[in-house]
Amino acid sequence: MQLMWFRKDLRLNDNPALHQCCLNGPAAAIYFVTPSQWQQHDVAPIQIDLMQRALNHLSHGLGKLGIVLHVIEVETFADIPQQLSKFCKQHNITNIYANSEVEVDEINRDIAVQQLFNQNGQQSLQLYQADCLINPGEVLTQQGEMYKVFTPFKNCCLKLLRDRVNLQPYPAPTAQGKAIENPSITIALDKKESSAWPASESDTYQLLQKFIDFQVEDYHQNRDFPALSATSQLGPCLALGIISAKQCVYYLLQAFPTLLDGNATGPVIWLNEILWREFYRHIMVLNPRIGKGENYNTKAKNIIWLNSKQDFKAWCAGETGYPLVDAAMQQLNQTGWMHNRLRMVCASFLTKHLLIDWRWGEKYFKQHLVDGDFASNNGGWQWAASTGCDAQPYFRIFNPTLQSQRFDPNGKFIRIYLNNRLQQRQALNDKQIHQPFEAIVEHKFARQRALLSFSVLKATGQQEG
Ligand SMILES: Cc1cc2nc3c(=O)[nH]c(=O)nc-3n(C[C@H](O)[C@H](O)[C@H](O)COP(=O)(O)OP(=O)(O)OC[C@H]3O[C@@H](n4cnc5c(N)ncnc54)[C@H](O)[C@@H]3O)c2cc1C
């Protein structure tokens, strides 16, 4: 018996570890529920709900292939090596297959498992790469270093994708025995309704196809306008591995075969976004200190944050007085998702206008996002706070009113999320709607204050220390 260990790769298709496990089958599968670990990682209740739904679809699909899915609850990753070893002994299993993950706790968990297996000399854990398009550590400068700037990283990825990366997804495995019914799975933790997002592989694939067929060609024009539903909304499924980045690019290429040569503007810009995801993952693997809460740019430790608890509370509740920021925070609090342009605006506002440490915002986002993903969230926050790798220059400070006029010109998005509040005030026209009302801080003052605080990044430029 071979054992497939599922983590954030809740899919049958394009799953190299599952594929290999079943080739050597017959196979069983295991999944660890780790409540305290997830709490430490600030996993949002809405993501737990999506995870539960995705696990049930996976378990059903595995059952049809005759594969039993064992779900075991332990508190933290630290409990896994012993539990896994015990399970393997009970079931007479020697080979365990899994797909590697990029986060530092996850990497350390796998090292601990491998160390125990080495000591026992009875089992082995084989790791595959299924999360990135290209293995972290393989996109390097001519000097053999990780790129510090996105554009050359992206160009190198495109070359590798053109020349040697096989994007063909692995097929779902063949049946391992007679079909069985795996019991339904309940994760006994706080959950928040996630039904707006697909949880099965087939529904996720349909969402991708719909986006490719009808929206991706206009992506470059529409993606920055939060009132339009113009982005793929695949983030939550990518975060849990219900679909892989490889599958996204493979099917995009089927529709736009000259994509990698830079033809087709919308699809090229969408591919760029997938490559930002890739960039942050590669940075994380090659700089594990980032996974422990450190600034990428070591000079950023000299920024003096004000960290006002009162201001933070107002930001979380969407009560800063800046309509676009407040509507965006309402979107996050109500739906568990926030448009990318607004993530940048809100993160800039928290770190620059309020001078609150980006880690506070990173945590709050993770606690509420259905697509919460450590590498992309950390990358996005450090970009906005100018502390990251190829980040926004420190002197660039979004003006939330101008952002509002530019990206929500008729106030349509603001009206959706601030409707109740606006009803209590006199009617506002499309110009007035963007203006701050009883604002927490005045823009020009905040801008000057931020420039002063962030000038510690100035001396020798934006390089990492
Ligand atoms: C402060 C901040 C926090 C963020 N937190 C997260 C997070 O926790 N999880 C997350 O997946 N993304 C995060 N992002 C990136 C981005 O905002 C979301 O991926 C995007 O809004 C998701 O919407 P979509 O699925 O419709 O994306 P699309 O626009 O359709 O893009 C397709 C996919 O590409 C990836 N992607 C797109 N933009 C980025 C980006 N800037 N960085 C990294 N990957 C990207 C995502 O996987 C996304 O699903 C964050 C960005 C910022 C500025």
Q: Please tell me if the CB atom of residue 201 comes closer than 6 angstroms to any atom of ligand 1.
A: no
pLDDT tier for residue 462 given thresholds of 50, 70 and 90: very low
pLDDT reported for residue 289: 95
Q: Please tell me if the CB atom of residue 351 comes closer than 6 angstroms to any atom of ligand 1.
A: no
Q: Please tell me if the CB atom of residue 333 comes closer than 6 angstroms to any atom of ligand 1.
A: no
| 15-44 per-position pLDDT tens digit | 999 999 999 989 999 999 999 999 999 999
Among protein residues, the one whose CA lies closest to atom 38 of ligand 1: 273
Among protein residues, the one whose CA lies closest to atom 16 of ligand 1: 340
pLDDT reported for residue 80: 98
Q: Please tell me if the CB atom of residue 277 comes closer than 6 angstroms to any atom of ligand 1.
A: yes
| 319-359 per-position pLDDT tens digit | 999 999 999 999 999 999 999 999 999 999 999 999 999 99
pLDDT tier for residue 423 given thresholds of 50, 70 and 90: confident
Per DSSP, which regions of 247-316 are E strands? none
Q: Please tell me if the CB atom of residue 380 comes closer than 6 angstroms to any atom of ligand 1.
A: yes
The predicted model gives 182-206 an average pLDDT of: 97
pLDDT reported for residue 459: 62
- Residue 461: pLDDT over 70: no
Q: In ligand 1, which atom is closest to the CA atom of 219?
A: 29
pLDDT reported for residue 465: 35
Query: Given 108, 222, 272, 340, which residue is catalytic?
Result: 340
The predicted model gives 368-385 an average pLDDT of: 98
**What average pLDDT is seen over the chain?**
96
Query: What structural domains and CATH numbers belong to the chain?
Result: 2-128 (3.40.50.620), 132-168+201-286 (1.25.40.80), 298-457 (1.10.579.10)
Q: Please tell me if the CB atom of residue 231 comes closer than 6 angstroms to any atom of ligand 1.
A: yes
The predicted model gives 241-263 an average pLDDT of: 95
Helix axes 201-214, 245-255, angle to 10 degrees: 40
pLDDT reported for residue 421: 87
DSSP per-residue codes, 144-163 = S-B-SSHHHHHHHHHHHHHH
Q: How many CA atoms lie within 13 A of 345 on its CB side?
A: 28
Q: In ligand 1, which atom is closest to the CA atom of 238?
A: 47
- Distance, in Å, from the CA atom of 245 to the CA atom of 278, rounded to the nearest integer, reads 9
The predicted model gives 254-275 an average pLDDT of: 94
pLDDT tier for residue 70 given thresholds of 50, 70 and 90: very high
19 CA from centroid of ligand 1 (Å): 28
Q: Is 276 a catalytic residue?
A: yes
Share of the chain above pLDDT 70, in %: 98
The predicted model gives 287-297 an average pLDDT of: 95
pLDDT tier for residue 463 given thresholds of 50, 70 and 90: very low
Among protein residues, the one whose CA lies closest to atom 24 of ligand 1: 233
pLDDT reported for residue 464: 41
The predicted model gives 103-112 an average pLDDT of: 97
pLDDT reported for residue 243: 98
pLDDT reported for residue 428: 86
Q: Is 294 a catalytic residue?
A: no
- Distance, in Å, from the CA atom of 100 to the CA atom of 419, rounded to the nearest integer, reads 45
Q: In ligand 1, which atom is closest to the CA atom of 274?
A: 34
For residue 127, how many other CB atoms are within 10 A of its CB?
A: 18
Instruction: Work out the angle at residue 235's Cα, subtended by the Cα atoms of residues 230 and 241, and round it to the nearest 5 degrees.
Output: 145
Share of the chain above pLDDT 90, in %: 94
Q: Is 295 a catalytic residue?
A: no
Query: Given 276, 337, 360, 383, which residue is catalytic?
Result: 276
Instruction: Work out the angle at residue 283's Cα, subtended by the Cα atoms of residues 124 and 354, and round it to the nearest 5 degrees.
Output: 130
| 130-155 per-position pLDDT tens digit | 999 999 999 999 999 999 999 999 99
